């Protein structure tokens, strides 16, 4: 618990500091309905985002998710905090490409993949993954994501260019740990990215009959 509280204090300081001075802003939309916003800033291993939802259907998923990574040499610390319909705090450390510690509160939110020794080497944390997509200029190389509860593999399946725009079709698959959205536990999604003039303009994630969009503002 002490480690989680310390991590949250650092997270609040980091997301409230200069890194948020000029964030990228994305509208979060489902169909024609805007659900909220995502603010992002940073690059590579030092990045942060704030996802705020206040118009989700039935209010089921309204709330916020703050996440940040901070590097020191080859070490990276990840801090994530959910507030709203779910309350969850996660702190993870990685050194030389290998996860070394995982702390999750409440403990009931832990999965079999919440043990550091079970996590494969070379994974990125959520802010690092978003940084790779948001600061990239074209379709990404294969990436692996770890959020403290599952491992996801992301791979470009196809791409095409139309003038100054690049369209990327990407697979997003949970390969270790539980799927998303209880009680469905979805493990396979389609992802589409659109880069215009070397800038991420739109990202879409579809699965379970839903399609959510992030649209650069």
pLDDT at 10: 47
Question: What is the rounded CA–CA span in Å between residue 147 and residue 92?
Answer: 9
Confidence of residue 1 (pLDDT cuts 50, 70, 90): very low
Rg of the chain over all Cα atoms, to the nearest angstrom: 17
Interval 50-74 mean pLDDT: 88
DSSP classification of residue 44: T
- Residue 3 and residue 107: Cα distance in Å, rounded? 13
Instruction: Give pLDDT tens digits for 151-195.
Output: 999 999 999 999 999 999 999 999 999 999 888 899 999 999 999
Query: Encoding tokens for residue 194?
Result: 């659109």
Residue 7 clears pLDDT 50, i.e. is over it = no
Q: What percent of the chain has pLDDT over 70?
A: 88
Please provide the average confidence, as pLDDT, over all residues in the chain: 90
pLDDT of residue 11 exceeding 70: no
- Sign of the C-alpha dihedral computed for residues 129, 133, 137 and 141 taken in this order: positive
2 three-class SS: helix
pLDDT in tens, 72-101: 999 999 999 999 878 999 999 999 999 999
Instruction: Dig out the tokens for 8 from the structure.
Output: 């949250």
pTM (predicted TM-score): 0.89
Mean pLDDT of the region 30-40: 93
> pLDDT of 94-124, one tens digit each?
999 999 999 999 999 999 999 999 999 999 9
Who has greater pLDDT, 58 or 155? 155
């Amino acid at each position: 618990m002490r480690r989680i509280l310390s991590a949250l204090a650092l997270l609040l300081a980091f997301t409230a500091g200069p890194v948020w001075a000029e964030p990228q802003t994305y509208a979060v939309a489902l169909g024609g309905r805007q659900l909220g916003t995502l603010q992002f800033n940073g690059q590579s291993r030092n990045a942060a985002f704030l996802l705020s939802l206040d118009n989700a259907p039935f209010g089921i998923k309204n709330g916020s998710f703050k996440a940040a990574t901070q590097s020191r040499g080859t070490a990276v610390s990840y801090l994530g905090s959910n507030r709203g319909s779910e309350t969850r705090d996660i702190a993870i450390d990685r050194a030389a490409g290998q996860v070394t510690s995982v702390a999750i509160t409440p403990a009931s939110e832990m999965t079999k993949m919440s043990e550091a020794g079970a996590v494969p080497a070379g994974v990125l944390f959520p802010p690092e993954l978003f940084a790779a997509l948001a600061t990239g200029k074209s379709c990404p190389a294969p990436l692996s994501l770890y959020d403290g509860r599952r491992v996801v593999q992301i791979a470009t399946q196809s791409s095409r260019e139309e003038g100054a725009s690049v369209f990327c079709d990407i697979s997003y698959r949970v390969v270790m740990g539980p799927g998303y959205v209880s009680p469905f536990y979805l493990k396979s999604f389609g992802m589409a990215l659109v880069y215009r003039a070397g800038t991420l303009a739109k990202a879409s994630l579809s699965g379970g009959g839903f399609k959510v969009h992030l649209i650069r503002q």
